[in-house]
Amino acid sequence: MTSLHFTQVDAFADAPFTGNPAAVMPLDAWLDDATLQAIAAENNLSETAFTVPTPDDPDADYALRWFTPTVEVKLCGHATLASGHVLMADAMIRFRTRHAGILTVTRDGDGYALSLPAWDMAPRALPDLAAGLGGAPVESHWRDGGYSLFLFPDATAIGALTPDFAALRRHGDVMLIATAPGDDSDIVSRVFVPGGGVDEDPVTGSAHSLLVPFWVARLGKAHLSAYQASARGGRLGCTLAGDRVILAGQCRTIIEGRFFL
């Protein structure tokens, strides 16, 4: 029998039972993909992060991959933040990823700052996705790779959304980001990825790779406060720095244990 250490962390959490839970599982070497996916399904969290040390890589300390209960994802912010929280030995840690390049986590006061790529979107009519999302968006935008964004008039409209998850699953692994100006923050959002095994994600770092450039262009300032209005909720400090989005947030270790194979 093989046992693996794991830590469950609430990322972007400034109070108990908030933020987005992630499992962080450091490995000495990669297991086969089917086993990684089965572990993530067993954990049954939005994402499980797996890391492997990269001593021969001058640009990274660890290789990093993320799995939902059903698929491997190309970018995950909250589980990267959680991985930094678990593994950081100094002021910064660097992760090499398969699709998003090098991601870094640095200490920032009593929390952390996560550097992600800044991604632009293009306006596009998305009537089928909008119908499944519900509500009445005033704009819709798309980025190749399965990312959609819907602008709503206010935070009340965001809170009132009741998506048809069964209908949205038929569109495959697409992230749906619903956003509006916030009431007590600059921006508010909710994020749904039913085709990727996560009906509603509690706090989604990767969505802010899209949200921050989108809102900086509209609000005319590079520093934003963001609230993701899921049932758990989470707050993020957001900065657009050239081609990078910097997200500030806290982490809380919730569970430590052994996973037996």
Catalytic positions, please? 47
Q: Could you please report the per-residue DSSP string of 199-220?
A: EEESS-TTTHHHHHHHHHHHH-
Q: Tokens 């009906």 map to which residue?
A: 199
SS3 string, 135-153, reads CCCCEEEEECCCEEEEECC
Rounded to 5°, the CA angle 261-97-179 comes to 100
Q: In terms of Cα–Cα distance, which of 173, 178, 176, 191 is closest to 232?
A: 191
DSSP 3-state of 89: coil
